[in-house]
Copies of this chain bind each other. A is one copy, B any other.
Amino acid sequence: MATLKDISTELGLSVATVSRALNGFPEVGARTRARVQEAATRLGYRPNRSAQRLATGRSGVVGMIVKLRADMSADQTFFDVLTTLTAELAARDLDLVLSVDQGNDPVAPYERMLERDLLDGFVLNAPVPNDPRPGFLRARGVPFVMHGQAHAAPDYAFFGIDNRAVCADAVELLASLGHARIALINGEARFAFAEDREQGFRAAMAVEGLAVPDGFVAGGAPTESTGYTQALAWLSGRAGPRPTAILCATTPVAQGVLRAARDLGLSMPGDLSVIAHDDALPGIRPAHFNPALTVTHAPLRDACAPLAQMLVDHLNGAPPARLQTVNRAGLIVRASTGPVPKGEERPWQTP
């Protein structure tokens, strides 16, 4: 394995200059830098991470703690994010180490991991409302970035999407099609994103002058069977009014809703409109659902590169409150949404 010294003797330069040239220091002359780079590739130089880390005082390791849940495997999102995030961090010379937690204390596993490993920082996932982790880590001076947003005006680094707008956009579309009885199958209530979406849903309904009957906001694991069970309950009409449109937290949930509607002989979008938020998970093609699914669209893995870069910037001294991005999901209208059935129009459109 070639070292800086190999390059420096090869070129008759000092290791200091070689190091500076390779690390893009501005004071190095253009010709010198070119010679160094040529020699580095020719000799197959790769920096020794351990030496870099020892010299800079960084460990090059960031942690992520995963809460073990029974339905973990049903949650396709975790794997997608994990693998993309690993790659994005690796591209920035950071290793991601995982730790699995089974307990109820939200911060104890972070404490343990800090005691056990030398860490440069954390990636926080699955934020909950008023998440205690940011306060805990800040008190200890440990850098972190959050995937999602757990507080109204965070002073920490995070990347998320506008979850209120996700539901508001969906409601607006459906209301413009005349729908009045719109129901929501949300994510699990304990997560911050689900709270935001419910607020966005209720606010948008209010703006449209539409009521949200009791029971029209449900929640659950983001699975096909959640969608099937809930849709069957609503659409069979046994329990109060039937929605003419259903918003789904994920595309698997929508798959369940579509199956329930088909089982009941409903046509879509004739009898029922369906819309879902689409995380763009690998292997799921909402455009090929039957009918093709209207979605709000925001690939989960698009968060990974920004998160990795924010963490690097944070480690390099950027103030975390500057490292905040909120993306807006796109709206893709397909065949699963259409005009409200005759006779079911929103109040002021009925005669």
Q: A100 to B90: give the CA distance in the assembly, Å.
A: 12
Q: Indicate whether A46 reaches chain B with its CB closer than 8 angstroms.
A: yes
- The contact string, 1 if C-beta is below 8 Å from chain B, for chain A 1-35, is 10000000000000000000000000000000000
- The contact string, 1 if C-beta is below 8 Å from chain B, for chain A 128-150, is 00000000000000000000000
Complex contacts, A76 vs chain B, CB 8 Å:
73
A73 touches B68 (CB 8 A): no
Binds B, one of A91-99, A306-314, A338-346: A91-99
Complex contacts, A99 vs chain B, CB 8 Å:
86-87, 90
A71 touches B283 (CB 8 A): yes
Q: Indicate whether A236 reaches chain B with its CB closer than 8 angstroms.
A: no
Q: Indicate whether A60 reaches chain B with its CB closer than 8 angstroms.
A: yes
A283 touches B98 (CB 8 A): no
Q: A77 to B79: give the CA distance in the assembly, Å.
A: 12
Chain B nearest Cβ from A39, distance in angstroms: 18
Given contacts A54-B54, A96-B97, contact A282 B70 (CB under 8 A): yes
A72 touches B117 (CB 8 A): no
Q: Indicate whether A82 reaches chain B with its CB closer than 8 angstroms.
A: yes
Chain B nearest Cβ from A212, distance in angstroms: 32
Q: A30 to B79: give the CA distance in the assembly, Å.
A: 48
Count of chain A residues with a beta carbon within 8 Å of a chain B beta carbon: 42
Complex contacts, A117 vs chain B, CB 8 Å:
90
Q: Indicate whether A280 reaches chain B with its CB closer than 8 angstroms.
A: no
Of chain B, the residue at the smallest CB distance from A51 is B54
Complex contacts, A86 vs chain B, CB 8 Å:
97-100
Q: Indicate whether A66 reaches chain B with its CB closer than 8 angstroms.
A: yes
Q: Indicate whether A318 reaches chain B with its CB closer than 8 angstroms.
A: no
Q: A27 to B309: give the CA distance in the assembly, Å.
A: 48
Complex contacts, A97 vs chain B, CB 8 Å:
86, 90, 95-96
Q: A341 to B10: give the CA distance in the assembly, Å.
A: 82
Q: Which one of B60, B73, B75, B82 contacts A50 once the chains associate, using CB atoms below 8 Å?
A: B60
Q: Which one of B49, B66, B73 contacts A283 once the chains associate, using CB atoms below 8 Å?
A: B73
Can you name 25 A-B residue pairings with CB atoms under 8 Å?
A46-B115, A46-B118, A48-B118, A49-B50, A49-B59, A49-B118, A50-B51, A50-B53, A50-B59, A50-B60, A66-B83, A68-B282, A69-B283, A70-B282, A72-B283, A73-B73, A73-B74, A73-B281, A86-B98, A87-B99, A90-B116, A90-B117, A95-B95, A96-B97, A96-B98
Sort A-B residue pairs by CB-CB distance and give the 7 closest, nearest first. Answer: A70-B283, A73-B76, A50-B53, A83-B100, A50-B54, A86-B98, A50-B50
